Amino acid sequence: MSELSCPNCGAPVPIINKASVYAVCSSCKTLSLKKDVNLEKIGTGGELADDHSIIQLGTLGNYKGTPFRVIGRIQLKFELGFWNEWHLMEGDGSSAWLGEAQGSYYYTKLNVGIPTDKIPTLEGDDDPIVIGSGRRERITPGDSFYLGENWTLKEIMKAVCVGGEGELPIGFETGYEAVLLDLASEDGLFGTLDYSESPALLFSGNFAPLEELNLTGLRQEEVAYNQTQLPAKSIECKGCGASLNQFSPDFSKSLACEYCGSVMDTESDDLKIIAKFDQVSKDNVLLPLGTPIKLPDFPESKVIGVLRKSTEVDDETYTWTDYLLRYKGGYAWLNENGDNWTYFEPLPGVPKWAPGLKRVFQKRSYKWFANADSNTDFALGEFYWKVSAGEKAQIEDFISPPYMISSERTDNELFWSKGTFISFETMKSSVPLDTASKLRKPEIVGVCEPNPFKIRLKRNLWVASALTAVFLAFQVYGCIKAKNQIVYQGKFKYVQTSMPNSEIGSANFRDNSFVTDVFELKGEASENVEIQIEAPELDNKYLFFSAVLINEDTDTAYDTSIETSYYHGVDDGESWSEGSKSDSKSLAEIPPGRYYLRLESQSDFPVGWGSDYNVKVIRDVMSPAPFFLFGIFLWLPLIYTFFRSYSFESKRV
């Protein structure tokens, strides 16, 4: 570390990093340019505003294994408050920056690898830009362009430089206005295009949670301040004189009167009115201002603002309510839509696109659900921006129940948030009893409400698949083990005969009846017997058999019936057929012994006509019929659950 003298007051100005080019005197705020071993005055550093930052010059940290020391700062003011760019010296002497705004931190470095002719050039303050040679286009949040990698524009903002301190690698001018373009990549990177210089400077890096920075040497009084909830204060409405509560004075930038609709700028001492809502109604506001919210898995918070929004689809107006929640260290939104509740948290990046109109965030895939234009109908309470009547935005939703991600795009900002579905029972238990009694049980399916039938469908599919596999294994084992022993086979001919029947005055078919030769059944008493009959020449006729298997020694009989029938034809030019030329029946648990088969047959053949048929008796046969019957009953619940799940999804709004 070296020490130079301030060219204005002569006070010592320590120089920690040899690479520093500019320095601000801590005594007189003179901004100097370092030249060899001297400092040359080039301006003033300005008076920094007390923004209650916990960081100071000399603060140490370690981010992802890289140690650093805070050696300088540039302070900016924009619409939502103050933005600090802390200049860091890393362990190897290189420079980095720690952006700080609204309790969020961004670890970035100056990107020097982008050709200057590729960096967008602004024309005017905000509208068109020029990219490349002669190409002009107006940019809006959500636009993408390539600067070393693909970036998405999240926000266009104007900032005013308040001042600076310590050592800096770049110069600044107190009071200057600069346009900043906040960027995000699908890989989770954060970037800023800073138009305070020409060409613009690109800083890129990562969103850095405070706990990952491992900071030491903090401003302890500000640590205590940030850990203390500032008390609410009373404000008199400039529109109607009503007394209003400001629950979060250190957070809110505007306050909307719940009685007359006037919106006041809480950053101005005179609380000037900056907007007014023509109609204000609290009829459908289920969570009044100040309501404490104690949702499981989320920080305890309080309702400080209410937005009523609407959209028109096919000439129908749909409305919903967004409740702004404030907790120490952050904020969230609680959305009520059709009495369904969703808790939304802001996302620092831009979710990745995936095939099939999907987005991916934290390795979870979200499918596209809907988009719409929203209009702000009225507002109550306080907000972290200067809310105005008739604010419009484009909303796009992607769902993966019980979660969803949503983008809200305005002319100047693209805001992403992640939603978590809150069940009716959970919501009722998370608010005071008097508020819970006003909540209504939803009658429609929520946007990201979990599908209970989908869970059952997966369970039933797993159970059905597992049991089918087990039963199939038993079936295959049975087929392999079965003997399939042919113990008898013969070929016979059926011929139709007739005999007079005086009682009905017509010809009556006489049964063809006979018995087969004796055959022997071996094996166990638990083994079955299958009787198969096939009539290969059967054509538009049937053959019916009454079959009896008889034990020659005990005269024990086992009877069954078998029918072969085959019909076909042409109707309206289309061929059809039904039935089969073969059939079989199984007789269970036939003891071993000597048996013969008695067959009685009849048919619809004309007199004198008939058909050949084959008879086969098989011992110990494994039939596939039980497996298929089991499968039908096993998969029926799955089919039922599938249709219930489909019906549930079709009702999602």
Quote the pLDDT of residue 504.
37
**Model confidence pLDDT, tens digit, residues 571-620:** 888 999 999 999 999 998 999 999 999 999 999 988 888 999 999 999 99
Q: Residues with Cβ < 8 Å from 436, sequence gap 6 or more?
A: 427, 428, 429
- Write the DSSP string, 168-193: ESS---TT-EEEEEEEE-TTSEEEEE
SS3 627: helix
Domain residue ranges in the chain: 2-226, 233-449, 453-479+628-650, 483-621
Quote the pLDDT of residue 116.
78
Q: Show the tokens assigned to 158.
A: 């104007």
Q: Which residue has the tokens 């490349």?
A: 132
- Cα dihedral 555, 556, 557, 558 sign: negative
Q: Please enumerate, as own/partner, the contacts of 329-332 that have beta carbons within 8 Å and a separation of 24 or more.
A: 329/103, 329/226, 329/299, 330/103, 330/299, 331/251, 331/301, 331/384, 332/298, 332/301
Topology at the third CATH level for domain 483-621:
Jelly Rolls (2.60.120)
Mean pLDDT by 10 residues, the chain (653 residues): 83 83 86 80 84 91 96 88 91 93 89 80 63 64 84 89 90 85 88 86 91 93 75 90 90 91 89 90 90 95 95 86 90 95 91 91 92 92 90 94 94 91 96 93 92 82 82 79 90 79 41 88 90 94 94 94 94 90 92 94 89 94 76 79 85 77
Closest to 631 (Cα-Cα) out of 474, 480, 465: 465
> Which residues share a beta bridge with 206?
107, 189
| Cα of 60 vs its chain's centroid, Å | 38
CA distance 457 to 645: 8
Q: Which residue has the tokens 């030019």?
A: 573
**Model confidence pLDDT, tens digit, residues 337-364:** 999 999 999 987 889 888 989 999 988 9
Query: Quick one: which H or E segment has residue 632?
Result: helix 625-650
